[in-house]
Amino acid sequence: MTSSDWDPDLYGRFADVRLRPALDLLARVGGALPEGDIVDLGCGSGPVGLALARRFPDRRRVGVDSSHAMLAKAEGTGAYDALTAADIAGWTPERPVALIYSNAALQWLGDHDTLIPALAKKLTSGGTLAVQMPRQNRAPSHRIWTDLVQEHFPGRAAQAARPETADPVEYHRRLSPLGRFDLWETEYFQTLPAAPEGHPVRHFTSATFARPILDRLDEGERVMIEKLYDEAMRAAYPPAADGTVLFPFRRLFFTLDIA
C-alpha cells in the first residue's frame, strides 16, 4: 500500500461546489495590493486560476502545488505565468509577494502556529494572506471514514495523514497581532448530484479527506469499507427521490493584511 497522487478528474467531479468557497475567499481580498506576484498556494488543478487572472490581469501569477498530476491540469488552464512543484512547508518565493492565496490546502500541513506566520513573512509590505480550510472533521461525512477503518482494521487510520483545522480562536490568537486580521466561518448547504453507484458524499470525500485513509487498504478491504460507508451516509445524509443529497459542509476563512 502506497500513497497515491491526487486524481484531478475525481476531485473535479464536484467543481462547482468546490469553487464557490474559493470565489468567496477571493471576493474578500482587497483591491489595493502592493507591487508583487500573486501566488495560488496549493493551486491543485487550477480551478481558481482564471478568476485570479480576471482579478489581477496585469500581475505575474504563480501556482504552487506538490502534485505533478494536478499541476499538469493547472497548466492547461493558461491562467498562470509560472507553475512550481513544491511542498508548501518548504516553498520560498524568489522575492516577497503581494498576495498568497490558499484555498483548501493548508489543512494538510501541521504546526499552523509556525507555518502560517512563516507564510506571512513571505509577503511584501501591504501584502495579503488569504486562506480557506475545511472544518468538517467532526461531521459524519469525515468522522465515519476514520471510525470504520479503526473498527475493522485497527491502527490503519492512525497511519494515514489527517487534515486538521484548528479552532478559530487559535488563528485569531496567533495572527491578529501580525496585521489586520479578518476571520469568519461559513456552512455551505451543498446539493450533490445523484451518483450512478454509491452515495454522493462518498464520491465527494474519497477524492480529498478519505484519500490517505483508503491508501492504507488493499482493494478488497477498500470495497468493504466503502460499502459500509455508503450505508452510514444513507442514514446521515438521506438521498432525495431523485438521488441528490443535501450536504452541509463547514469552512473556515481568514485574511491577514500585513502593514
Give which of 209, 193, 191 is closest to 247, Cα–Cα: 191
Q: pTM of this prediction?
A: 0.92
Find the radius of gyration of the CA atoms of the chain: 19
- Check residue 161 and give its pLDDT: 78
Specify the pLDDT at position 2.
Answer: 47
* 203-238 pLDDT tens trace: 999 989 999 999 999 999 999 999 999 999 999 999
Residue 2 lies in a domain: no
Q: How many CA atoms lie within 13 A of 114 on its CB side?
A: 6
pLDDT one-digit tens code per residue, 76-104: 999 999 999 999 999 999 999 999 999 99
Residue 253, pLDDT score? 98
Residue 164, judged by CB atoms within 10 A of its CB (0-12, 13-18, 19+), counts as middle
Q: Is residue 31 part of a domain?
A: yes
b/e per residue, 128-138, with b = 16+ CB within 10 A? bbbbbbbbbbe
Residue 1 lies in a domain: no
Interaxial angle between packed helices 112-120 and 168-175, expressed in degrees from 0 to 180 and rounded to the nearest 10: 50
Residues spanned by the domain of 112? 8-258
Residue 143 lies in a domain: yes
In a domain, 115, yes or no: yes
Q: Which amino acid is at 120?
A: A
Domain presence at residue 64: yes
Judge whether 62 lies within some domain.
yes
How would you list the strands of the sheet with 82-85, edge to edge? 82-85, 61-65, 38-41, 97-103, 123-134, 245-258, 179-192
Strand partners, 257: 128, 180
210: buried, middle or exposed (CB in 10 Å: 19+, 13-18, 0-12)? buried
Q: Are 152 and 225 in contact (CB under 8 A)?
A: yes
Would you say residue 223 lies in a domain?
A: yes
How many separate domains does the chain show? 1
Identify residue 158 by its one-letter amino acid code.
A
- Quote the DSSP letter at residue 6: P
CA 31 to each of CA 35, 100, 179: distance values in angstroms, whole numbers, following the listed order = 12, 14, 17
Cite the beta strand spans of the chain per DSSP E.
38-41, 61-65, 82-85, 97-103, 123-134, 179-192, 245-258
In which band, very low, low, confident or very high, does the pLDDT at 14 lie, cut at 50, 70 and 90? confident
Residue 83 maps to which CATH number? 3.40.50.150
Q: What is the residue whose three cell numbers read 511542498? A: 87
Kindly give, in sequence order, each residue whose CB lies less than 8 Å from that of residue 46, ignoring residues fewer than 6 positions away. Answer: 40, 63, 70, 73, 74, 75, 76, 77, 79, 80
User: Which tens digit of pLDDT belongs to each residue from 191-204?
Assistant: 999 999 999 999 99
